[in-house]
Structures are given as structure tokens and as C-alpha cells.
Amino acid sequence: MPGHCHAAVASMENRFSKTNSSEYRLLDPDDSSTYLSVQNWKDNAVNPCINSTYAFIGKIMDAVKGMATKLNLFNLVNT
């Protein structure tokens, strides 16, 4: 999982604002820290201390596995 995931964080915050579901939220709403990456991005790191981060990673990995299985790609990579 890349450490810098601004698109994923922004997408899941947008999802949260529309559905009020924290199922895949990547930020802790109680975390008031602020930071700016060397690339000048804010909110581009997933929080490894919340369960929803792992739910998100699991969802993504299941989707990738499903696509790779459907395309029979596992014979091309070391699994």
C-alpha cells in the first residue's frame, strides 16, 4: 500500500460526506494534526491505526484479485 494516497483519501472523504459511512474512511476524524508532504499535499497518508483503513485495503485487494483471476493473470506473476 503506498504511503501517499491523496486520491484514495479524498475519494473516501467524499464518500463519507455523501453516505455518512465510515466503513472505508482513511482518516481519523479525531486526529487534529496538520502536515504538508514534500510534494505539497495535505491529507495524503492513510491512518494505519483505524480498522477502516484495513477494510479499504482488503476491498481493493479483493477487487484486484478478482480482476486478475478473471483475466487469468496469476500464471504471469509470482503469487
Residue 53 CB partners (closer than 8 Å, separation 6+): 26, 46, 47
Per-residue pLDDT reduced to its tens digit, 14-47: 999 999 999 999 999 999 988 888 888 888 888 9
Q: Which cell numbers hold the place of 56?
A: 479499504
H runs (alpha helix) in 1-79? 6-19, 51-70
Interval 43-72: pLDDT, tens: 888 899 999 999 999 999 999 999 989 988
Classify burial at 76, counting beta carbons within 10 Å of its beta carbon; exposed 0-12, middle 13-18, buried 19 or more: exposed
Q: Where are the domains of the chain?
A: 6-70
Cα 72 to Cα 76: distance, rounded to the nearest angstrom: 8
